[in-house]
Structure 1
Amino acid sequence: MKNELAKKIILPMMVFFAIIMVWSLIANNVEDFPTPSDTYVSAFGGVNADGDEIVGVLSDPLYIANEDDKGILWQIFASLQRVFAGFSLAIIVGVPLGLFIGMSKNAQYAFDPFIQIFKPVSPLAWLPLLLFIFQDINLTAISTIFVTSIWPIIINTALGVRNVSEDYMNVAKVLQFSPIKKITKIILPVAVPFIFTGMRLSLGIAWLVIVAAEMLTGGIGIGFWIWDEYNNLNYHNIIIGIIIVGIVGFILDLVMGIIADFFDYRKKGRA
């Protein structure tokens, strides 16, 4: 057990130091590419390699200079608001539609071709059309998240319904369950783990999409902040933004994974 714990600590540290070495090598060979030490100073503040005093991005993450100039935590919060708005809409529409497709062969035949066609479409393809329709930055970002993140929810919900044992469905017929009672008593208990798996995938896609959407639509948000730092030639802050996006995405996936495991009867049975 101790050996396993040591591996979980030592091996990631080895990879981390390897990344730092590769990063330093790139910085030494590419002009103006930010070094790890200068990026650290840009994040937390201090004196950079040129001897200049730097105020770090993370040293005052909640400052508000004006509506368009806010600290990094406000940028993250604005992005998360859009993500959860689009994600919530995807759940509201995707779960009932997935149940319908899973319970009806005719519905499966009707919807499946369109799901397979629209599922691989890039969010960047939807953005211009949705921006033309809504003429609003927030609604465009939210609708783009909805359109691109709904598919895992529909597909996994339908898969969960199809995993319900035929014996259970026959019992529901014998007991003359109403459609609502059949869903709540028979289908949902089996399908819930699949639904949460779809929601976990969907949330990951939503966080992925918001960065690209905000880069193109502008406004407050972590995606636009990264693009703005690029326009200002602040390459240190671009790397900081990438790391922050990755950390927030990791936390979101971790939380959704814990929630999914809580509702997964299969894992509870093994425990």
Structure 2
Amino acid sequence: MSEQLEQGVTNRVLSPGRLALPSHWKNGLRNGLRKTGYLLGSMALLVLLWEITSRLSGKSLPGPMSTLATFWELVSDPFYDFGPNDKGIALQLIASLQRVFAGFLLGALVAVPLGIAMGVTPFCRQLFDPIVQVLRPVSPLAWFPIGLAVFHSVGPATIFIIFITSLWPTVVNTAFGVSSIPKDHRNVAAVFRFSKWKFLTKVLLPYALPYILTGLRLSLGIAWMVIVAAEMLSGGTGIGFFVWDSWNSLSLERVISAIVLIGLVGLILDRFFHYIEKRFSYGG
């Protein structure tokens, strides 16, 4: 009897007609295929619009096929270094990312505590909010002369631009998240006599974390966008300098290739923070 039962179980497991993936695997596979389809469709649409624009411009704008050869040339040897003004595209991107993360991290170190203070204390909010609202709309390039005047060097001045422009989304989102903590949460903390440190670590930061991460995500996107314009002014190395140098060399194929790479790196950075956002939520 036991042998028959074992044989029946084996037949049910190994029978091709009875094999089936778990439902959550099916849903995940279906969602993955759907997202891949949308991605491929959007890329195909973008290439089609690009080709149409190229034809309408009388080929003044290089088309996808001619740009693809230049793009492959750039990515096939991305780490060459023939001097200060002739480096591979990977080295240019790395130089830009170093500046971006330096300014972004400095901005986060200031923005998160400032946003918490503004969200917790009405006095700080009333004191700092006008400053934030006045400085937030200022163009990033307007800060470049200030950076040069203070630091007397284009490298620190570029990082200063990233720092000052990446502050505001994190400050605003952090302040909003902290100020929106439900009153019930505060009452419970008061009933259990939480210390200020325990309230900060057990209630305030966990609740405001999704807002903080959203602010950091927006700040990083702005930092990556600003670095291109900043490096066009500062020169030297970086993807912004590469774009400007390619334009001066009358190579639109290299300019468009750099734009594609800038977009891809920006997408990777955004997806990374989006993944972190999904991983962390209040009570999660």
With the length of structure 1 as denominator, give the TM-score of the two structures: 0.88
After superposition, residues 51-90 of structure 1 pair within 5 angstroms as 56-90=73-107
Give the Å deviation of 1:7.
Answer: 4.5
Provide, for residues 37-83 of structure 1, a one-character-per-residue CA deviation record: whole Å limited to 9, x for no partner.
11111111xxxxxxxxxxx1111001111133210000000000001
5+ long unaligned stretches in structure 2 = 1-26
Cα gap change, 1:103/1:236 in structure 2, threshold over 3 Å: closer, same or farther? same
> Alignment partner for residue 41 of structure 1, among 41, 64, 69?
69
Equivalent pairs: percent with the same residue?
Answer: 43
CA contact (8 A) 2:232 2:241 kept: yes
Counterpart of 1:211 (choices 228, 231, 245) is 228
Q: Is the 8 A contact 1:101 1:107 kept in 2?
A: yes
- Asked if 2 retains the 8 angstrom alpha-carbon contact of 1:24 and 1:36, the reply is yes
Q: Residues 174 and 83 (structure 1 numbering): CA distance in 2 closer, same or farther, change over 3 Å?
A: same
Q: What is the alpha-carbon distance in structure 2 between the residues aligned to residue 12 and residue 185 of structure 1?
A: 40
* 8 Å Cα contact 1:91/1:150 also seen in 2: yes
- Asked if 1:116 is matched to 2:133, the reply is yes
1:88, CA displacement in angstroms? 0.5
Alignment partner of 1:165 is 2:182: yes
Describe the SS at the equivalent of 2:77: coil
Instruction: Quote the Cα distance in structure 1 between the aligned partners of 2:41 and 2:201.
Output: 49
Offset of 1:159 from its aligned partner? Answer: 1.3
Identify the residue that residue 40 of structure 2 maps to in structure 1: 13
Query: Distance in 2 between the 1:5 and 1:180 partners?
Result: 42
Which residue of structure 2 aligns with residue 243 of structure 1?
Answer: 260
Aligned-pair RMSD on alpha carbons?
1.9
**What SS does structure 2 have at the residue aligned with 1:57?**
helix
The one-letter amino acid of 2:273's match is M
Unmatched 5+ residue regions in structure 1?
A: 45-55
Report the CA distance between 1:20 and its aligned residue. Answer: 2.5
CA–CA distance in structure 2, aligned partners of residues 202 and 217 of structure 1: 21
The offset of 1:4, in angstroms, is 5.7
Structure 2 CA distance for partners of 1:14 and 1:183, relative to 1, 3 Å:
closer
Q: Structure 2 vs 1, CA of residues 258 and 19 (structure 1 numbering), >3 Å: closer, same or farther?
A: closer
Counterpart in the other structure of 1:127: 144
Q: Using a 3 Å threshold, how does the CA distance of structure 1 residues 174 and 4 change in structure 2: closer, same or farther?
A: closer
TM-score by length of 2: 0.84
Specify the structure having the higher radius of gyration (Cα).
Answer: 2
Distance in 2 (CA, whole Å) between partners of 1:12 and 1:156 is: 30
Aligned counterpart, 1:179: 196
Give the number of equivalent residue pairs. 256
2:269 to 248, 252, 263: 252
How many angstroms apart in 2 are the aligned matches of 1:171 and 1:3? Answer: 43
